[in-house]
Chain A
Amino acid sequence: MSHAAAQAYLHTRVSVMSTRLFGPGELAELIELSLTELAERFGLTALTDDQLTNRGKSRAVAQAVVQILLSELTILARPVTATERALLMAWGRKYALFNLKSLIRGKLYDLDQREIRENLYDLPPSVRLSHQELFRAENVLELLRQLEQGPHALIARQAREAYEQRREPFTLEAAIDQRYYAGLARQVMQFHDTDLQPLQHLVGTLLDRENVQCLLRFRFAYRLSPSETFYQLVPSSRLLHRDRLLELVNLETFERVLEALPAPLDALLAGAANLMDVQHRLHSYMAAEAQRVLGHSPSGVARALAYLILRESQLRALFALTQGQLLELPSHLMEVAVGLTDPVCPTGVAAFA
């Protein structure tokens, strides 16, 4: 297939797939549906399986949602070039890293093997780590030593050294996340011409969102120093570039950080009282930016990535809905969970505790 034909095919694929995204108001309609109706509509048969406990149902739905997303990722990654595929796969690799974190936590807290296995996602071969070998590791040190033999050698070595010095998962997980986002940013720089700008915009927005959330959480909830916080962030090529992050981490209060953010983040987050509110607004912002790229970008790969970001967000909302139904939560809480209404939380320092 020629490059032009492959691009045309990818654009068509993305357009066809984007009809699966929820339309305006559809999420609100879904809140009204019962568990059986949700199960029928989305093929989530586990929800109606009487043999399963609520926990079992929840796990089965989480697995089904991830499988839907990653099977779509696999389809989109098929007709593209090696560089484009590498970017899409790098994005999807976060689920392998979720599994890695679950494995590390499981080994760290000496959990039962069955319990660890139940918390792992079943992933397609293109994305997954060599789980079987890692799963057979009997402690964190062995797990990281094994990981050092593969493509994640650098991250594993750093994580092992961090673990040997401070036996707690935060440093490890922060290192894994930082590597993931840095890798994604690096992948974008491999592109040229029509793909580069929209991808920088999209991945830049993603990094900006993560940077604002991490900066506020690390500085004001975990009380880390500016230098510790800065090290965990990944400079974006869009709004929160390196110098700006250096300025922001040095600010002493939550409000001053929000005020000092560049446009349009300053207006977007003006008056946000707590981290949950910030997350909620950034989530909507990310969705709007991804929707814009999906609707108007000339780059097939940028549209594919935008679609995956939106689809992931909506599938997460669907998962939240099923959780809410399983726990029989009132509808106003479910509306908050899926982002239809603003959360009402206590403000000030207590909000971060």
Chain B
Amino acid sequence: MLRPTPMKQVRLLVLTEELPRASLALAETESFHPDPRPPAESALANLPGRGYRELYQQARTRLDKIAKLAPLPAEPEIEAVRVVGTEELTELNQWLGEVWAEAFRLEEQLRHLDEAERSIKEQESALANFANLNIDLKMLRTKTRFLDFYVGSVPRENVRQLEGAVGLAKHLLFTYMTIGDHAHVIIVGPTGGKEQAQLGSVLNAAGFQALPIPQSLDSEPKEIQRQLELRRQGLGEERGTLRQRVAAWAQANEARRLEAQRTLVLAEPFVTLDPSIRSAGHLACLCGWVPAREVAGLEARLKDSLALPFQLDARDPRPDERALVPTVAVKSRLLAPFSMLVRQYGIPKYGEVDPTPLFALTFLLMFGAMFGDLGQGAVIAGAAWHYRSKLGRFALFGLLAGASSMVFGLLYGSVFGFEHVLPALWMSPLHDPILMLKIALAWGVLFLTLACLLAIYNRAVVGNWEGALLGHHGVVNLVFYLALIWGGVRLATLGAFGTLPALLVVLALGALAVHSWREQKAPAGEKALVVFIETLETVIGYISNSLSFLRVAAFSLNHVALSIAVFTLAGMMGPMGHWITVVLGNVFILVLEGGIVMIQVLRLEFYEGFARYFSGDGYEFAPLRLRHRVKEGAHPNDPSRLEKTTP
């Protein structure tokens, strides 16, 4: 499981007219990851699918935009797989263009209704404001012989500039209300003259929206409110009618839109492959990466699907191509949530050990050890189960973390912080804190050694022998670290570091220093400084990294200590207060300590583990596939589903 899935570089030579069919066959196998590098042969320079791709993209965009108004299922059901020709795609695109134009018109009508509703709200606000003005408001509605009025709103940030501009046209601007980003203004000036004509274009440029003054402004306020309410109801009815029209329109063309969606799903593989396809005359070439075990199946599928001859070559990736080879993700339901966390750090490079299984195991061990409680673990697992539909694949993560916490809870004899209810299968951490710290330190040494071994393996497997031997966390580093630990243990138990461990430490550090000196291109003084700092960093780094694992023990102790604190507080209360404090204390421990432990474990995994052996700069295997649901009863890889018709 730690080894990557072996991959092959395949090159398919087909006749250009067979490309759409070949794309569909490749998509159906779900084992072909396109390689967009241009082929070595200069003759294969043409890009045959460009026109098709542009047609597809426009059609897909139109369908997506229409789907905002009239939704379609995300993945359609497909009964028979068939080739979609350019003519069919052109016709479909044209039809979708017409449907989109109708959809856009309907959307615009809905937007105008929204704007009308907003206008009513603004009128209501304006009405409330006008009521406080001590002027004859009817005058605002119509132009007088001498004065011209504009009442409306403008974006707030345009007001100052507009004030100056209307001033030049001999008008005055008065802001009477501000709502959100808009200011409501009254502009007053002399009637007639060229200035009035100029004002229109300035108001347009400033985004001025005229506010109709209610006709019945001199009526009772209740009457005006009633009229506005009637208008709002009218708009609501209009919206209802429009919604019905939209629904009728969507229903009328639903069957054809669904068919369009199916057609586009079938056209997609050829479009996805487009950057990887090169051609010369009638011959087309496409390259990609295929899991070695799938090559035979792929060839068989192509033989079944293609009517004309083709050639499929497969070879192992060259050393210079390793960085481009995609990595097949570990397919395990159990590991899926851990795989998601690993991907937050990066994708394993091809050849590199996939750290997911190791990550899952060590994560669960450390989380349980740091947060061991039967009751609280059960709560975590129960919550994950209860919210499994919302959490998706991550629910399993919660279940496993809770289960690990429960197992360690049994070992520690802890349930909801009660230490004496359940007999400990091992012991409570607080009974022997020194032993807990020793175990945590030993775990750290084991973890770091394992990380170094993986780093050495990852380099050796790609032929980087120098890196495996002398690089960061390589063989020499590991020798130094183990000798340091050996000497440290001797010092603690026998009182002396020991000659052999000391000799190994000095020799390993010397080898690293010489390597570093030779690697650098700088004056001697600078080299000496860098070598000194790097050597110091190696020593301090390994010691501090090992001590970092003491937190595993520290948090197990912390958990017990927090529980004791909760029970001490609860002991000060009456019977009711006691249980309330116990419950709230447990909630506090679950949320706060649980969260902190999670972060600390991830920190240990990412910083102490991944940083040593996992580059995370690989590519995920993303095979060409059809985005559709398989119809019930049909096998997704049944070759008979691909019709053998000429495109």
Contact = CB atoms under 8 A, between A and B. Distances in A.
B493 interface: no
Contacts of A232: 205
B165 A231 contact: yes
A225 B194 contact: yes
A140 to B, nearest CB: 12
Given A154-B181, A171-B204, A231-B202, A161 B165 contact: no
A171 B201 CA distance: 9
Interface string B378-403: 00000000000000000000000000
A38 B445 CA distance: 61
B61 interface: yes
Contacts of A141: 108
B571 to A, nearest CB: 49
Contacts of A227: 165-169, 195, 198-199, 202
Q: Is the interface of B mostly helix, strand, loop or mixed?
A: helix
Interface string B419-453: 00000000000000000000000000000000000
B209 interface: yes
Contacts of B65: 136
B526 interface: no
A230 interface: yes
B204 A225 contact: no
Interface residues of A, number: 31
Interface in B38-87: 54, 57-58, 61, 65
Contacts of A231: 161-162, 164-165, 202, 205-206
A278 interface: no
Nearest to A135: B61
Interface string A164-206: 0110000100110000001000000000000000000000000
A157 B118 CA distance: 15
Contacts of B174: none
Contacts of B157: 154, 182
A230 B108 contact: no
Interface in B128-186: 155, 157-158, 160-162, 164-169, 181
A158 interface: yes
B297 interface: no
Interface residues of B, number: 34
A297 B169 CA distance: 42
A142 interface: yes
B205 A228 contact: yes
A249 B168 contact: yes
Contact of A158 (B164, B199, B202, B207): B207
Contacts of B206: 158, 231
Interface string A230-257: 1110010000001001100110000000
A113 interface: yes
Contact of B205 (A138, A145, A175): A175
Name the residue among A139, A175, A225 with the largest chain B CB count within 10 angstroms: A225
A249 B169 CA distance: 12
Contacts of A154: 155, 157, 181
A184 B326 CA distance: 45
A228 B165 contact: yes
Contacts of A175: 205
Name the residue among A157, A165, A230, A250 with the largest chain B CB count within 10 angstroms: A230
B164 A162 contact: no
A339 interface: no
Given A225-B169, A231-B202, A242-B164, A136 B108 contact: no
Contacts of B108: 141
B104 interface: yes
Nearest to B163: A242
A165 B162 CA distance: 18
5 contacts: A138-B100, A145-B111, A154-B155, A154-B157, A154-B181
Interface of B: 54, 57-58, 61, 65, 97, 100, 104, 108, 111, 155, 157-158, 160-162, 164-169, 181, 194-195, 198-199, 201-202, 204-207, 209
| A-B CB proximity, top 9 nearest | A225-B198, A158-B207, A227-B168, A231-B165, A227-B169, A227-B165, A136-B61, A226-B168, A230-B165
